[in-house]
Amino acid sequence: MTDAKEKRVAGLRSQRAGDLDTAARLFGEAVAAEPNDATAHNMLGVVSVQRGDLAVAGTHFRRAAELSPADDTIACNYASLLVQTGEFAAAMERLDRLPQPSTGAVALYLRIARALQDNGHEDRAAKCRRRLAEMPQIDIQALQELSMLAIDAQDFGFAILILERLLELGPQSAALYNNYGAALYGAGRPEDAAEALERAVSLDPTLASAAVGLGPLLYRLGRHREALEAFETALRLQPDNANLRMRLAHTRLAVCDWTDWPETLAFLERSAAVAGSAGLISPFTSVFWPISNAARLQIAAGYARRIASEASELARPPAVRSGIDGSPRLRVAYMSAGFANHATGHLMRGLFKRHDRDRFHITGLAISADDGSDYRRDIVAGCDAFHDLTTLSDRNALDTVATVDPHILVDLAGFTQESRPRLVAARPAPVVVNYLGFPGTLGAEYIDYIVTDRVVTPPLDAPDYAESPAYMPDCYLVNDDAQPIADHPDSRAEVGLPESAIVFAAFNSPRKIEPMIFGLWLRILEAVPDSVLWAYRPNAEVEGNLRRAAEVGGIAPDRLVFAPPLPKAQHLARLRLADLFLDTHYCCAHTTASDALWVGLPVLAFPFDSFAGRVSASLLRTIGRPDLIAETADCYVDHAIALARSPKRLKDIRTDLLARRDTSPLFDTGRWVRNLERLFEEMWRIHAAGEPPRRIDIADDRP
């Protein structure tokens, strides 16, 4: 045995005995005795890592790799050290030199990919993931880990490819289909995602994560009955899951199923009082339920803190390069999932083209796919620039926003179903604004302002908002003053309404209807025998549940007439066939009330003490008809009955509304935009002066 080999053997014995100092000395002597011994250099590198002497380890791993470039063990040890010291590109380069990387190299690539992702190097991480997928020796376990890395990185298309490869290799497990569903959902394929999760549940009915994920997905697809079944299954698996219980209750609300209503309200009241209750009630769900504004703030704040924590690694200081487009214009970026045939698109369609291009540069940031509608086309045409972020990961989306370099980012999605709150929490603009999509506070420290008005957000309510209020002089809700109204339907017979009856319209989303307001409607129907309630029917469950509730309340079920979804212009046309719009309470009509007023249909409001509960009151005050706002339940019922018994008065109100439509600031989009621009300029002036956000009030920019 040579002297160098004896030193290596003795060093190994010391290393195994835990005597690292002696092992390092012996390996060093072996290297001195045989400077070209790659094994000795590698051993000294390993023990140096164990001793924490990474610089020495790097020297000897490098020399070992030079002496034996095809040695898999040496390459992996050296690459592992490079990963440890953050030299990810060098580690990948070292492994790429191997003619046939081993399973050890696969494990290292996985470590490198994870480290790159965790440290914000997504482009390199993506290359690393794809290199892994090409390795012939990668096994099923590594492929599974690779798919999860891709899902975590929001690289959903690649994750789908890996998961489909795994499904072909088999065995087909519930967990695999669960991950497949998550990737499909992330890629914007909700129908396929639901099918995958249903397959997961069928393979393992006890897999709670699949059952929990399936409920919200089916709800979003409008498959409410199946969503209810999924939530009920999930709740049986996790009976103490309070969040599931609230999701089940909210899904029931969406189909007007008021099972266990008193118990649900009691549970809601208890949950809303719990600190950090965002885990029990989502901010979006809280909009529809009778809880206090203080509780809503607490719920939203808890959710916002979690989002901010998730987005912390994404945050970057905005550049705001002056003159990016060759002018001093203020750059405003609007981000929305509603640039489509959607309530947001209906309201904002005429806004973008009305901005003053001498003072503003307008960018649209879409976070939902192009639906091919005229709304999407017109919004794109109304912007100076438009970017679709839908399929981009958060990092890549923020890179795109950075090219826009906005002074002001307007979040039109908030905490709604298709929002991208982590993009907003990363603060890609110096000023961030909450507007329209979420009716209330987002509870977030990373949001500076909420565009609102004094009806929906009275100044005394300011403590219940995290944002500083930026007050519009009239209603905060923008409207499109060029909405077309179809010629048909133009007769009650076309829509199944009795020709001579008083028609009370109730076109709010069914999830806004609850037992209290429905009970008031039944009182009105009872007092006006020759009347019907005309309600929106998005699904058969709503019709069946409301008819049963009417019968229980003593009203013949056939006095409820149901209206299916229609294209917007036709929907506006049919609204003209009603006599009076009966609004909901806890969450009232927003776009729906605007639609009614646009066609001259009187709206009877019964506001609740919340942003979402006061919108119709704001609309009515702006159009000059505060007399249609009822302050109590009895006043609401009495007012509806009195109007129904006075057809002339209803006709006079309709005539007045149509006349006011042409003069009121409610439907003057240009005037509304000019007021918004003044808010934006004041926000930027405050920021540029180095001052913190504060309440902003402006006077109306009257023509």
State the total domains in the chain. Answer: 3
The CB-based long-range contact list for 89-98 (8 Å cut-off, 24+ gap) reads 89/124, 92/124, 92/127, 92/128, 92/131, 94/65, 96/131, 97/69, 98/70, 98/72
Please state, for a pLDDT cut of 70, what percent of the chain lies above it.
Answer: 96
- The set of residues, in sequence order, having a beta carbon less than 8 Å from that of 151 and lying 6+ positions away, is 159, 179, 182, 183, 186
Residue 411 lies in a domain: yes
Domain CATH for 467? 3.40.50.11380
511: nearest Cα among 582, 429, 578, 584: 584
Verify that 424 and 538 share a domain, yes or no.
Answer: no
Distance CA 151, CA 187 (A): 10
Residue 250 lies in a domain: no
Q: E strands, 544-652, where?
A: 560-563, 580-582, 603-604
CB-CB contact of 401 with 371 (8 Å): no
Average pLDDT of the residues of the chain: 92
Verify that 596 and 549 share a domain, yes or no.
Answer: yes
Residue 324: predicted pLDDT: 46
Token pair belonging to 194: 């639901």
Verify that 463 and 581 share a domain, yes or no.
Answer: no
DSSP string, 474-511: S-S----TT----S---SGGGGT--TTSEEEEE-S-GG
Verify that 516 and 629 share a domain, yes or no.
Answer: yes
Q: For 568-598, what is each residue's pLDDT tens digit?
A: 999 999 999 999 999 999 999 999 999 999 9
Domain CATH for 510? 3.40.50.2000
Q: For 594-607, what is each residue's pLDDT tens digit?
A: 999 999 999 999 99
Tell me the β-bridge partners of 536. Answer: 563
The DSSP code for 692 is P
Please state, for a pLDDT cut of 90, what percent of the chain lies above it.
Answer: 74
Residue 323: predicted pLDDT: 46
Domain termination site, one of 159, 184, 209: 184
> What's the first-to-final CA gap in the chain, in angstroms?
100
Q: For 422-478, what is each residue's pLDDT tens digit?
A: 999 999 999 999 999 999 999 999 999 999 999 999 999 999 999 999 999 999 999
Q: For 546-562, what is each residue's pLDDT tens digit?
A: 999 999 999 999 999 99
CB atoms within 10 A of CB 21: 10
Domain CATH for 15? 1.25.40.10
Quote the domain boundaries for residue 102.
3-184
- The set of residues, in sequence order, having a beta carbon less than 8 Å from that of 420 and lying 6+ positions away, is 335, 337, 367, 389, 394, 397, 413
Distance CA 403, CA 405 (A): 5
What value does the mean pLDDT take over residues 157-178? 93
CB-CB contact of 129 with 146 (8 Å): yes
Collapsing DSSP states into helix, strand and coil, what is residue 700?
A: coil
Verify that 639 and 701 share a domain, yes or no.
Answer: no
Residue 300 lies in a domain: no
Token pair belonging to 160: 């789908």
Q: Which residue has the higher pLDDT, 391 or 451?
A: 451
Verify that 34 and 166 share a domain, yes or no.
Answer: yes
Distance CA 467, CA 451 (A): 9
Residue 235 lies in a domain: no
Verify that 609 and 660 share a domain, yes or no.
Answer: yes
DSSP string, 135-162: -TT--HHHHHHHHHHHHHTT-HHHHHHH
Verify that 599 and 453 share a domain, yes or no.
Answer: no
Verify that 655 and 674 share a domain, yes or no.
Answer: no
Residue 248 lies in a domain: no
User: Has residue 368 got a pLDDT over 90?
Assistant: yes
Distance CA 268, CA 479 (A): 34
Collapsing DSSP states into helix, strand and coil, what is residue 44?
A: helix
Verify that 509 and 643 share a domain, yes or no.
Answer: yes
Residue 334 lies in a domain: yes
CB-CB contact of 555 with 497 (8 Å): no
Domain termination site, one of 167, 184, 201: 184
Q: Which of 77-86, 205-214, 618-627, 648-657 has the lowest mean pLDDT?
A: 77-86
What value does the mean pLDDT take over residues 517-521? 98
CB atoms within 10 A of CB 118: 11
Q: For 9-26, what is each residue's pLDDT tens digit?
A: 898 999 999 999 998 999
Residue 254: predicted pLDDT: 93
Q: Which of 240-254, 430-444, 502-516 has the lowest mean pLDDT?
A: 240-254
Verify that 444 and 518 share a domain, yes or no.
Answer: no
- Please state the three-class secondary structure of 654-683 as a single string: HHHHHHHHCCCHHHCHHHHHHHHHHHHHHH
Residue 270: pLDDT band with limits 50, 70, 90: confident
CB-CB contact of 216 with 230 (8 Å): no
Residue 686 lies in a domain: yes
Verify that 582 and 673 share a domain, yes or no.
Answer: no
Q: How many CA atoms lie within 13 A of 475 on its CB side?
A: 28
What value does the mean pLDDT take over residues 471-499? 97
Residue 595 lies in a domain: yes
